[in-house]
A and B are shown apart, each in its own frame.
Chain A
């Protein structure tokens, strides 16, 4: 296991109240896999991803354990975490334009990942930056290296971000909604690129997204997060083809709706995800769940094995019916 998360919780203190955003989640990520964390906004997926790299907000309180390559990441001093970010863990984000420094040429920003960690001289780092841009399939790497972020296209920018994240040779790439700001064709190219880079550089990828379409393309294993708790975790095929948790099933259905040209009367998820501090008792999904019964309102479902997946649900879906009916 390259990463082991145990009983991880993170929250904030607001007006004397402790608001818990992620409430005791556990999962493992194996070396070389693409592990997808999926959830709506407010589910705590980004907070979890950032905390793996020690980038949780300074005002947050955390508990539990995050072990990356047998190093405890929580409560490790920032000076030591810094040595891992870049050479061990790379990060890419949702909005590549704002995530790049507007007043620095792209190549210099990539080179900085190397020089800041003393991995290369300035001239060597600059050369490596061009090589990295070539590696992420940028056609004219030399030109792009000397361009400013506003001078290149959105897809190019995200490629440059990937080049920057991978420049120092990390083994883990955390991608927080990397395709959200991109249009459909660029999105597909980007996922393809990530899959290729993963093979070439033997990366482990943690992909954080709300987009089921993204999941289908790349995921080896999936973790479904709802309101700070794990709904379901398991192999991608099992979860995609036979969603057992009603929430996952609903996510799949709504992904289908957005891909269906004629929007039919398909049953999407009703209501909205609860906000921080307004999580309901019992199963947190029960107010929106079509299968909810009385026990769901009071008893929090424990996590248990169910077929090839692990889930937290009192009344999981037994067969893969919803998907098949939706297709016909």
Chain B
């Protein structure tokens, strides 16, 4: 049953990915620009531009370009970057871990903070704490992400000198040898606490920017789920057993509130992926967002399509994982297949 469900979902995921590839391919070609001219530079002769066009297959008709791109994609070839002159796969291998590290840290932080705030707010709905939390999270979400990022940089880097302006690691220091690609992990593997702290410092502002921006929705949804569960009859039973409020919250309410919170969180993860691109640009974070941004500036198509495919794949996978988690969390969800 689970296997059949998985197969079905995987096939669907594949269909979505192909659709995304097709759409982004044509969208990127709609832009009236000539990447070859860009690459050749301002003073390049027409022959040079033409040579570059032929080199990258840009002289061929669009359907042919599309066909060859899709055939390559089927073989797992994401094409080649005109800007870096390397295959997109090679580039992704280099940049993806940075993005994943930022995403995972932000996601964990987001879950922890939004959930703690929701617990505080749900203790006394409509009370002063609830109101204060609502106000603060709303302000955080209302601020545009680029402005928030720059404000944080202004205070914590320029004014207070507490945190670095951007990038993943101090330029003058040697990064730990690459094992996982996650600097937090690699620095610990290399046994260097100072490198670990340095990476953590670099992560703080970008992660904070993402989290603050998403906090309002996450907190509100978790708060609503908790308040709803608090009024259920099994809570009265738990009180009748003489359990303490904390035990009732963590052992009884939490587990029941998890399903709606999880659903909301899955959606939030989608937003998080799109924020990452913006945040990477603001903080000069060498991940796939910055990579795609730089590629797009020179109309380097393949990395842009690759980014769309990779982030869609991430979202599809997260959804699949969440769907598999539901029956684990709630035994009433019998079989994921039905």
Query: Number of contacts between A and B (CB, 8 Å)?
Result: 73
Give the B-binding residues of A (Cβ under 8 A).
53, 55, 79, 81-87, 90-91, 93, 95, 98-104, 112-113, 116-117, 148, 150, 161, 164-165
A90 to B241, CA, bound (A): 7
Q: How far is the CB of B308 from chain A (nearest CB, A)?
A: 38
A148 and B237 contacting across the interface, CB-CB below 8 Å: no
CA distance A79 to B261 in the complex (A): 30
Q: B242 near A84 (CB under 8 angstroms)?
A: yes
A55 and B332 in contact (CB under 8 A), knowing A93-B233, A102-B234?
no
**Min CB–CB distance B248 → chain A (angstroms):** 10
User: Is B86's CB within 8 Å of the partner chain A?
Assistant: no
- CB-nearest residue of chain A relative to B256? A103
| B232 CB–A CB distance under 8 Å | yes
- In the complex, A195 Cα to B213 Cα: how many Å? 60
Known: A112-B241, A116-B243. 15 other contacts (CB 8 A): A55-B236, A55-B240, A82-B244, A84-B242, A86-B242, A98-B234, A100-B237, A102-B332, A103-B255, A103-B332, A104-B255, A116-B247, A148-B331, A150-B332, A164-B241
- Contact (A113, B241) CB under 8 Å given A101-B256, A102-B330, A103-B255: yes
What are 6 A-B contacts with C-beta separation under 8 Å? A85-B239, A101-B237, A103-B331, A113-B241, A116-B241, A148-B332
Report B-chain residues with C-beta under 8 Å of the C-beta of A116: 241-244, 247
B332 touches A112 (CB 8 A): no
Contacts of B150 in A (CB 8 A): none
Given contacts A116-B247, A164-B241, contact A99 B331 (CB under 8 A): no
- Assuming the contacts A101-B234, A102-B332, asked whether A91 and B247 have C-beta atoms less than 8 A apart, the reply is no
- Asked if A95 and B233 sit within 8 Å, CB to CB, the answer is yes
Which of chain B's residues has its CB closest to A100's CB?
B234
Complex-state Cα separation, A221 to B330, whole angstroms: 44
Contacts of A104 in B (CB 8 A): 252, 255
Binding site for A on B (CB under 8 A): 232-234, 236-244, 247, 251-252, 255-256, 329-332
| Cα of A113 to Cα of B240 in the assembled complex, Å | 10
Q: Which of A99, A164, A165 has the most CB of B within 10 A?
A: A99
Contact yes or no, A99 B243, CB < 8 A: no
Residues on the B chain within 8 Å of A95, using CB: 233
Query: A165 — which chain B residues lie within 8 A by C-beta?
Result: 240
A297 and B329 alpha carbons, distance in the complex (Å)? 58
Q: A93-B233, A150-B332 are in contact. Are A101 and B238 (CB under 8 A)?
A: yes
A86: which B residues are within 8 A, CB to CB? Answer: 241-242
Return the chain A residue nearest B234 by Cβ.
Answer: A101
Select which of A87, A99, A103 is within 8 A of B237 by beta carbon: A99
Distance A116 CA – B241 CA, assembled complex (angstroms)? 9
Residues of A close to B244: CB separation below 8 A: 79, 82, 116
CA gap between A85 and B239 in the complex, in Å: 8
Task: Collect the chain B residues with CB atoms within 8 Å of residue A100's CB.
Answer: 234, 237
Residue with the greatest number of chain A CB neighbours at <10 A, chosen from B242, B243, B247 = B242
- Give bound CA distance, A117 to B241, whole Å: 9
Docked pose: A86 CA to B242 CA in angstroms: 6
Residues from chain B with a CB closer than 8 A to the CB of A117 are 242
The complex places the Cα of A82 from the Cα of B247 at a distance, in Å, of 12
Could you tell me the distance in whole angstroms from the C-beta of A60 to the nearest C-beta in chain B? 14
Task: Assess the B234–A85 pair: CB atoms within 8 A.
Answer: no
Q: CA A116 – CA B330 in complex, angstroms?
A: 23
Chain A's nearest CB lies how many Å from the CB of B116? 22
| B242 engages A99 (CB within 8 Å) | no
Question: Which A residues are in CB contact (< 8 Å) with B232?
Answer: 98
Chain A residue nearest in CB terms to B253 = A101
State whether A103 touches B329 (Cβ < 8 A): yes
Cα-based distance from A98 to B233 in the complex (angstroms): 6
**Distance (Å) between the CB of A160 and the closest chain B CB?**
11
